[in-house]
Amino acid sequence: MNLLKKYLNIFKCPNTWEDLHIDWDFLINKSGTFKYKIYDDNFIEILPERPYQVDIKSSWIKDNSFYYGQLNKKINLSLDTSDAWGQFEKFPLWYQIFIKKEIDLIYKYSKNTSKHIAIDISAWVWTYTFELAKQYDLVIHFDLRDKSLVYAHNKAKELWIDNILFVRWDWFNFPFQKNIADLIISIDSFIYYDIKDDIKVINDMYSLLNDKWIIFADFHHSKPIFHNKKIHEYTTKEIFYLKDNIKWKDKKIIRFCSIPTLLLERKIFQNIEKWLGKISCFFVRWVMIVQK
Ligand SMILES: C[S@@+](CC[C@H](N)C(=O)[O-])C[C@H]1O[C@@H](n2cnc3c(N)ncnc32)[C@H](O)[C@@H]1O
């Protein structure tokens, strides 16, 4: 039995909330009104017909047009992904060390949960899901970006990893039954939309969790000197505002390690780096853990 058949009952139609069945290369809802492409035994697309309306008025986020752009793209499995952004093997050493630390933290907080289903709601390439696949029966690798998904899917084949389902989807419309996951993570991804949009996603994430659960969300935090205008970097005040506005009770915010910003390629940072040394570009990340 292939992975999709085995776990088909955890999905639902993001447009009508009906169950889905497999019909050749498509997933079809019960009333037959919506169909979703199956690219491979472990690669599907479940995008909603109408996207959730993000708050495009937000002045700080110049990058959420990316979201609308991706929703209209078609996936091509033979896409050239040689330049897919975020390939782990091309990351500098400091970033690989940071990721290792973050994975250790996820394992530390999830050690008492069962290890059945883990979901990464914005998995990008294969940074976290390939590691989680060593411990969980099923890992769901979600993203919207076509190149990242195709790249990660090919990489899993190359490494003979067979317990990851790759799903192209929109995190504003979870295509899931409730109470199915033991761990849900979202790393470094609440950067494109408004705080109220992020709150919606985190609240929705919660409803997917079974009764021994953990959500792990990691946020960009404003640097003391510069602010990246293309994405939304949370200030400390905003992080705590978000925490207070999440409807679930058992949540905590922890300061995670300081890391050099990913924006080092920007000219201004390179100049400052030369002038002050690497340390000037470090900033702190915040992690929110919601746990029973
Ligand atoms: C900065 S990357 C972080 C990736 C990964 N979690 C990491 O830390 O390595 C943010 C990811 O969020 C994805 N994304 C943005 N909006 C999304 C949406 N509405 N639904 C699903 N994924 C989305 C992007 O495609 C991108 O891969």
Q: What are phi and psi of 168, to 5 degrees?
A: -90, 120
* pLDDT digit string, tens, across residues 143-167: 998 889 999 999 999 999 999 999 9
Atom of ligand 1 nearest to the CA of 172: 19
* DSSP letter, residue 242: H
Residue 225, helix vs strand vs coil: coil
Confidence (pLDDT) at 258 = 60
Query: Ligand 1 center to residue 230 CA distance, Å?
Result: 14
Confidence (pLDDT) at 17 = 93
Nearest CA to ligand 1 atom 12: 122
Asked if 57 and 195 count as a contact pair (C-beta separation under 8 A), the reply is: no
* Cα dihedral value 214, 163, 200, 105, nearest 10: 40
> Which residue of 189, 194, 232 sits with most ligand 1 atoms within 8 Å of its CB, as the best mutation to test the pocket?
189
Nearest CA to ligand 1 atom 10: 189
Written as one letter, the residue type at 145 is R
Atom of ligand 1 nearest to the CA of 70: 25
Task: Please give the C-alpha separations between residue 201 and each of 98, 108, 221, in angstroms, as whole numbers.
Answer: 25, 24, 19
> Residue 254 and residue 73: Cα distance in Å, rounded?
37
Average pLDDT for runs of 10 along the chain of length 292: 90 95 96 96 92 65 67 85 77 80 90 92 91 96 92 94 95 91 91 88 89 82 59 82 87 74 48 51 72 64
Atom of ligand 1 nearest to the CA of 186: 6
Per CATH, the homologous superfamily of domain 101-291 is Vaccinia Virus protein VP39 (3.40.50.150)
> Residue 217 and residue 106: Cα distance in Å, rounded?
10
Residue extents of the structural domains in the chain: 101-291
Query: Ligand 1 center to residue 187 CA distance, Å?
Result: 8
Query: Ligand 1 center to residue 281 CA distance, Å?
Result: 23
CB neighbour class for 265 (10 Å; exposed up to 12, middle 13-18, buried from 19): exposed
Query: Ligand 1 center to residue 1 CA distance, Å?
Result: 30
Confidence (pLDDT) at 95 = 77
- pTM comes to 0.89
Query: Ligand 1 center to residue 121 CA distance, Å?
Result: 8
Task: Please give the C-alpha separations between residue 168 and each of 46, 123, 149, 206, 236, in angstroms, as whole numbers.
Answer: 6, 10, 7, 20, 32
Segments of the chain assigned E as strands? 20-23, 26-29, 35-40, 43-45, 117-120, 138-143, 164-168, 181-187, 209-219, 251-260, 282-291
Provide the terminal-to-terminal Cα distance of the chain, rounded to the nearest Å.
34
DSSP string of 207-222, one letter each residue: HTEEEEEEEEEEE-B-
Asked if 141 and 162 count as a contact pair (C-beta separation under 8 A), the reply is: no
* pLDDT digit string, tens, across residues 221-254: 765 555 556 677 788 888 889 999 988 778 888 8
